[in-house]
A and B are shown apart, each in its own frame.
Chain A
C-alpha cells in the first residue's frame, strides 16, 4: 500500500487534507508539525485547566456555572425558544440580501444625476452602521406600536426583525459594494460595447462576478446576524437568551447560559467552517485560473 510519503505526494489526498485543515492553517506542516501542534495544545490546555481550577473562586464558579443537572434541565426550554432565533434569522436574512443589494447598486450609480440617490444610500449606510443595534430594536419595538396607528403591527418580533434588517442592510450593502468595485471597469466597458444597457451590464455582467466574490464576507455577516437575534429578547419576547435569563434568575445559577451558548455555537461554528472552506476554494480556483 501507499507509504506516508506516497500519500502526501498524492495531490488529491493532499488537497482533501488541506481543505479539512484549512481553518487551522496546518496544511504545510506535515506529520511532525501536527504532532508538535497537538503536544503544544495539550500542554496549553493542561496549564489553563490547572490555573483555573486552582483559583480561589473556582469552587463557587464550578457550583454556579458547571452544574450538569442545571445545564441539562434548562436545555429543553431553551432549545424550544431557540427555534424563534432561527426563524428570525432565516426571514431577516432574505430581506437583508435584497434590501442591501438595492442600496449597493444605488451607491454604485455613476454620474452627477444620481448624486442624491448615492448620497442617501451613503448616509443610510453610515447611520445603520453607526447606531447600536440594541437601540434600534428597543426604539422600534416599543416606539412604533406606541404610535397606535391602524395597520401598524404591534408584534415585537416583527419590529425587532425590522430593526435587524435595517442595521444589517447597512453592513451587507458595504460588502456588496466592495464586490461591485472589485470588478474591473473593463468588464462594464466590454458589456456596454456589446450593446447591453447600463442596467443589463450591472445585472448580467458585474453583479454575478461581484456577488460570487463576496459570498465569504456575506456569510460572516450571517453569523453576526444569527447571534444578534438574541436582541429580540430585550423586548420581552422569549427566545433562547431570554429563556436562559429566566432560568438563571430562577435558580441563581448560570448553567442555562452555557446551554444557550451551546445552541448558538452549534449553528455558528458550522457556518464559520463553511465560510473558511469557501474562501479556500475560491483562492484555489483563482490561482488555478491565473495559471491557465
Chain B
C-alpha cells in the first residue's frame, strides 16, 4: 500500500518535471541563417514591428546620455544621446525603424548571454568580442575598436608609472565581465592578486578608498571615471593596441539571422562616415591619453 503510494508520488513528480521541460519551444533556436532578407517585415524580432534593444541599467556616459528618466538611471538610452544610443538608433534607421519603433529593455550583462530565449533583439553594452564568447552568442561586427587604459589616484606612487612593466607591483582592479581582467592577468601579470568587481559602483568605490591602486577599464569609460566618479583621479595612460585589436560588438541570440542585417547597416554607417562622426561627437575626449610602453 505504502509502496504503491510512493511509486504514484514519484510518477507524478516525474510527469510534472517532464511537463515543465517540454511545454516551451525555443524561439531563438529556430532561425534561418542563410537567406538574409532584411526587409523590415522579414526580420526575426522578439516583438514583430518593434526593435527591442537591451543594455544595462544604470547606462553610463559616454555610452549613453540624456537626462535620466524612470526606469533608467544616470542617463537614458531612449535619448539618442551617448555613443551606443546614437549607434543603436542609426542602425534602427538603416533597418527601417522609426525612433518610436525602438524599445529599450534592461539586460544585466550576465543575462545577455544566458541560455534560453532572449528578451532583446540585440544587446549593446560595451561587450567585447572574443572567440570563446562567439561560440555561445552571435556578435555583430565592430561598432567601436576599443583600447584598455588604467585610472589611478593623483599623487599616489602608481601615478608616476609610464610603462606597462611599471604596473607590476601594484594592486589592480577591473570590472566583472570586462576583458580588462584578462588583460591584467595576461599582459600586466601583476605580483599582487588583482580584484574583480561585480559592478562599476564597487570598482569606483574601491579606487576612491585606495583599496586598489589602479582600475583598468576601456578608455572612454576611464575618462568618465576621472571626470565624474572619482575626484582627483587621472587616466594614467592607454595600453598599446594588440595586433587584431579589441572591439565591441552587439550581442544576439546564437544564429539569429538579424545579425546579418545589422552588419549590413553597420557597414553602411562605417563607409558613409556616420560611425566616425558619432565617435567624434560622443567619444572625442577619449583620444588624448598617453600610450603606456
Contacts and interface: CB of A to CB of B under 8 A. Distances in A.
Contacts of A148: 209
A40 B206 contact: no
Contacts of A249: 109-110, 176-177
A99 B176 CA distance: 35
A245 interface: yes
A233 B198 CA distance: 8
Interface of A: 36, 40, 43-44, 47-48, 50-52, 54-58, 60-61, 63-65, 142, 145-146, 148, 154-156, 233-238, 242, 245-246, 248-253
B210 interface: yes
Given A47-B14, A55-B21, A234-B202, A246 B133 contact: no
Q: Which 6 A-B pairs have the closest CB atoms?
A: A55-B21, A47-B14, A252-B136, A51-B18, A236-B195, A252-B113
B137 interface: yes
A192 B198 CA distance: 56
B196 interface: yes
B215 to A, nearest CB: 10
Interface string B104-142: 000001100101100000000000001011011100000
Given A44-B14, A51-B21, A234-B198, A57 B133 contact: no
20 contacts: A43-B7, A47-B17, A47-B18, A51-B14, A55-B21, A56-B26, A58-B21, A63-B136, A64-B136, A65-B115, A142-B205, A145-B211, A146-B208, A154-B209, A154-B210, A155-B211, A242-B176, A249-B176, A250-B179, A251-B133
Contacts of B3: 36
Interface band, chain B? 35 or more
Interface of A is mostly: helix
A245 B198 contact: yes
Contacts of A237: 195
A236 B198 contact: yes
A169 B57 CA distance: 36
B25 A40 contact: no
A146 B18 contact: no
Contacts of B205: 142, 146
Contacts of A61: 115
A133 to B, nearest CB: 16
Contacts of A242: 176, 196, 198
Contact of A251 (B116, B136, B173): B136
Interface in B196-232: 196-198, 202-203, 205-206, 208-212
B196 A60 contact: no
Given A50-B18, A63-B115, A236-B198, 14 more contacts: A43-B10, A44-B10, A44-B14, A52-B17, A52-B21, A56-B21, A63-B136, A238-B193, A249-B176, A249-B177, A250-B132, A251-B136, A252-B132, A252-B133
Contacts of B13: 44
A47 B13 CA distance: 9
Contacts of B206: 142, 156, 235-236
Contact of A236 (B26, B115, B137, B203): B203
B10 A238 contact: no
B194 interface: yes
